[in-house]
A and B are shown apart, each in its own frame.
Chain A
């Protein structure tokens, strides 16, 4: 941790708590989100959705709707030819955006309407007559693998295995049979977790405009406007360069805005009507027809020696992918035992289809469920061993040099320091009362780099425009301006960051995998360093000395060597002012597939009080310890930790998709899908550790996701310590806790 290779960097701007550049717009109501843009002559679009969990679409009659005055376009799958050219994933997206021969889940779109206003569009939806033939459905991940379960996607069925089982991701090392044979104590348990939604407050919304000449524009709330562009263009047969996608301010995403949902339909309606089309999902549509996370069902088995050395671990977890396959089980398998060093381990993540909406990423996707099982099991193991649960974790913790279960050998990582910080935290010594308990759990998540480019342009007054292609979900513009200011040696206020539309920069990957600030930050550093090279050349020109004699220091060019000692330094502003006569505009550009992403670990402490009368669990105190590598803007790093923990708390205690026997979602609204409100939570304490990532010039790691991983396990452990019942199902809602208490007293 104290390796001088990684520490000791002096920063002027990085690490300070500057005001965010979009703050005033957002506190005055001026910021424009997905639904806040209008165009001359725009139509309003609405979608007709399947009321059935699984049904054959025998006929759709749109003739009456089309004749309704004010209706300008109606489309069904018949208007969307398959242009996907054998690309299975793209075909899934096409089928998800509009049902073709079958409706695959409650809420699956079957037709879209564009009309002069909302009330006309609503009337038109009622005039569309769909003839369905109901088919058997399945919405539970375990039932989907029973022999008599209906097969959701016959095109993905593989001979020799269940038709709803897509694939398995297997990871691990050693020989687990031998490992378990060596164990003195083995704990094996089964767990289930409910399906949750990201719960971003802003529904999906877009304004689409397609012209008969094949050009188009899309204003949309998205985490990845380049990916939206390429997906929509391919589905609709448009040239990528001719579709300009502009990302609006985004009202939360958490992974749910990484994929297109109704946007291709809005574009198709606009093309058919030759008018701009605005489409905004209702909250009910967001719950039913965007991309929630997986529900899961799993078995975890961990074996240890009497001294607490874990010698073997096995996890098998089935991830419910919805009606289309994803990689969710695979990601879960990679994360299962990443916090620990276990000689024999195997984790299997299984991808399973059900009649539910297509699953999307949700903040550290797939890790929280697996961590719930693993961290609950480790806690039970500590009880069987008579060992402190934090000491047991520390005894088996992964360190620099440990090989990760999914292959790589860890560099410097933060799991041990976060656990030590937890052990030594005053929170661990605070007294607890009756029905109160404390729990600890750990979490791991990846960080990715990916395709990125940034453009840095210096104006004639020395102020800087930085254009990036990654969406700002949680304050990235502030962090990126800080990075540019740090590199150039200027003030934060002299940098204005702009999120470019798809026509202003080359391709940028989506803001996901905690990559936004990491990757665009990296591209910004190198764009700024290129601009510095230009600045040095211009200074050399102004001084009429060789460029080799110019260095850049503290935001100024300095001439080196005794013969130039009379030359006063030239500031960035001095050089910018003369740019017109020394070679024109001064800029730096950088494009790369960014590498060097560091992994991230967190350990959490939670105190709960369980009311044995009602089964309600109150969070009394919460502490997050996470490794940030280097915190660029500590306020927003803390904000990520706190927001992630709050989402994890909601997942642990309340949130869950509830399906009826009819396969329909029963709680598609914020009243019945209850996310934590302000009075549900205490202040969430944070501790930022900085174990620099050697792959980044400043040591930065992605920080956005990891802290949603530990809360489920930490709260389960705390509930167990509070009232003596072990919860094997998330959410640990009052009825489930009451049932567990009842069973315990029998």
Chain B
């Protein structure tokens, strides 16, 4: 299959790659660009572990083709911290013990950031519904919700 040439922006950096037309963006990010913070849990859009934002919108990168992001702006977990300074969500996930195995954590952080960017003061119910596209099997979600609440408070300061 002939490759498709793509020029795009990832975590504010200009990026170019060539990928087969049927390759998912998740595979491009992981296997071609080494952005392995994007996790594969299912490959069918059901677990949210590969969550990224595309022009600010939360998507599962396994459901996007690498070939269709020409000229778009992508954010992955690798772009969340500002140099050495962790994002308040990252800080609060650690402070609140909101991760155990950690495989779902990047996806949760991306989804939580997408929520707080739109709604800086969400209710617990709003948080639970905003994160319903991300599966976590370790925590029972309790500490994740608390971490998002704490980070939202930090960000409002």
Contact B100 A282 (CB under 8 A): no
Cβ-neighbour of A201 out of B20, B47, B93, B125 (below 8 A):
B47
8 A Cβ contacts from A447-486 to B:
473-475
Shortest CB distance A506–B (Å):
26
Cβ-neighbour of A639 out of B36, B95, B125, B139 (below 8 A):
B139
Given contacts A474-B138, A678-B145, A252 and B43 within 8 Å (CB-CB):
no
Given contacts A119-B1, A679-B128, A639 and B138 within 8 Å (CB-CB):
yes
- Asked if A683 CB lies within 8 Å of chain B CBs, one says yes
Secondary structure call for the B interface: loop
- Asked if A142 CB lies within 8 Å of chain B CBs, one says no
Residues 125-137 of chain B, each 1 if its beta carbon lies under 8 Å from chain A, else 0: 1011101111111
Contact A251 B103 (CB under 8 A): yes
Contact B77 A29 (CB under 8 A): yes
User: Please, how many angstroms separate the alpha-carbon atoms of A680 and B39 in the complex?
Assistant: 23
Residue of A nearest to B136 (CB): A201
Contact A283 B43 (CB under 8 A): yes
Contact A27 B90 (CB under 8 A): yes
Given contacts A27-B109, A283-B41, A642-B142, A474 and B101 within 8 Å (CB-CB):
yes
Cβ-neighbour of B77 out of A28, A202, A254, A671 (below 8 A):
A28
- Asked if A349 CB lies within 8 Å of chain B CBs, one says no
Chain B residues, CB < 8 A from A669: 42, 44, 46
Residues 14-32 of chain A, each 1 if its beta carbon lies under 8 Å from chain B, else 0: 0001011011111111111
Residues 677-710 of chain A, each 1 if its beta carbon lies under 8 Å from chain B, else 0: 1111101100000000000000000000000000
Shortest CB distance A278–B (Å):
10
User: Please, how many angstroms separate the alpha-carbon atoms of A8 and B1 in the complex?
Assistant: 70
Assign chain B's interface to a size class: 35 or more
User: Please, how many angstroms separate the alpha-carbon atoms of A678 and B134 in the complex?
Assistant: 8
Contact B97 A251 (CB under 8 A): no
Chain B residues, CB < 8 A from A671: 44, 46
Chain A residues, CB < 8 A from B140: 639, 642-646, 676, 681, 684
8 A Cβ contacts from A18-73 to B:
19-20, 22-33, 35-36
Contact B90 A19 (CB under 8 A): no
User: Please, how many angstroms separate the alpha-carbon atoms of A19 and B93 in the complex?
Assistant: 10
Contact B44 A200 (CB under 8 A): no
Contact A28 B101 (CB under 8 A): no
Residue of B nearest to A29 (CB): B37
- Asked if A647 CB lies within 8 Å of chain B CBs, one says yes
- Asked if A635 CB lies within 8 Å of chain B CBs, one says yes
User: Please, how many angstroms separate the alpha-carbon atoms of A54 and B127 in the complex?
Assistant: 46
Given contacts A27-B105, A639-B97, A202 and B142 within 8 Å (CB-CB):
no
Given contacts A29-B37, A473-B101, A671-B46, A678 and B77 within 8 Å (CB-CB):
no
- Asked if B49 CB lies within 8 Å of chain A CBs, one says yes
Given contacts A29-B77, A29-B106, A19 and B141 within 8 Å (CB-CB):
no
Contact A26 B137 (CB under 8 A): no
Contact B104 A646 (CB under 8 A): no
User: Please, how many angstroms separate the alpha-carbon atoms of A679 and B132 in the complex?
Assistant: 6
Chain A residues, CB < 8 A from B94: 19-20, 23-24, 27
Determine which residue in A22, A26, A639, A671 has the highest number of CB atoms from chain B within 10 A of its CB, and name it: A26
Residue of B nearest to A250 (CB): B101
Contact B141 A646 (CB under 8 A): yes
8 A Cβ contacts from A107-131 to B:
119
Contact A670 B46 (CB under 8 A): yes
Contact A675 B135 (CB under 8 A): yes
User: Please, how many angstroms separate the alpha-carbon atoms of A636 and B96 in the complex?
Assistant: 10
User: Please, how many angstroms separate the alpha-carbon atoms of A616 and B99 in the complex?
Assistant: 29
8 A Cβ contacts from B22-49 to A:
30, 35-44, 46-47, 49
Contact B97 A199 (CB under 8 A): no
- Asked if A663 CB lies within 8 Å of chain B CBs, one says no
Chain B residues, CB < 8 A from A252: 100-101, 103, 137-138
Determine which residue in B99, B101, B133, B141 has the highest number of CB atoms from chain A within 10 A of its CB, and name it: B101
User: Please, how many angstroms separate the alpha-carbon atoms of A254 and B46 in the complex?
Assistant: 20
Residue of A nearest to B110 (CB): A29
Contact A29 B132 (CB under 8 A): no
Shortest CB distance A602–B (Å):
14
Chain B residues, CB < 8 A from A28: 37, 77-78, 80-81, 86, 90
Given contacts A119-B20, A201-B49, A671-B46, A20 and B132 within 8 Å (CB-CB):
no
Residue of A nearest to B97 (CB): A635
Shortest CB distance B105–A (Å):
5
- Asked if B120 CB lies within 8 Å of chain A CBs, one says no
- Asked if B61 CB lies within 8 Å of chain A CBs, one says no
8 A Cβ contacts from B114-131 to A:
124-125, 127-129, 131
Shortest CB distance B27–A (Å):
8
Residue of B nearest to A198 (CB): B137
User: Please, how many angstroms separate the alpha-carbon atoms of A254 and B139 in the complex?
Assistant: 12
8 A Cβ contacts from B57-115 to A:
76-78, 80-81, 86, 90, 93-97, 99-106, 109
User: Please, how many angstroms separate the alpha-carbon atoms of A675 and B136 in the complex?
Assistant: 9
Residues 251-294 of chain A, each 1 if its beta carbon lies under 8 Å from chain B, else 0: 11110000000000000000000000000101100000000000
Listed A/B pairs (7) with beta-carbon separation below 8 Å: A27-B105, A32-B36, A33-B103, A199-B137, A249-B103, A250-B101, A474-B100
A-B interface, 4 closest residue pairs, ranked by CB to CB distance from nearest:
A29-B37, A251-B103, A26-B102, A646-B140
Interface, chain A (partner B; CB < 8 A): 17, 19-20, 22-33, 35-36, 119, 198-203, 249-254, 280, 282-283, 473-475, 635-636, 638-639, 642-647, 669-671, 675-681, 683-684
Interface, chain B (partner A; CB < 8 A): 1, 20, 30, 35-44, 46-47, 49, 76-78, 80-81, 86, 90, 93-97, 99-106, 109, 124-125, 127-129, 131-145
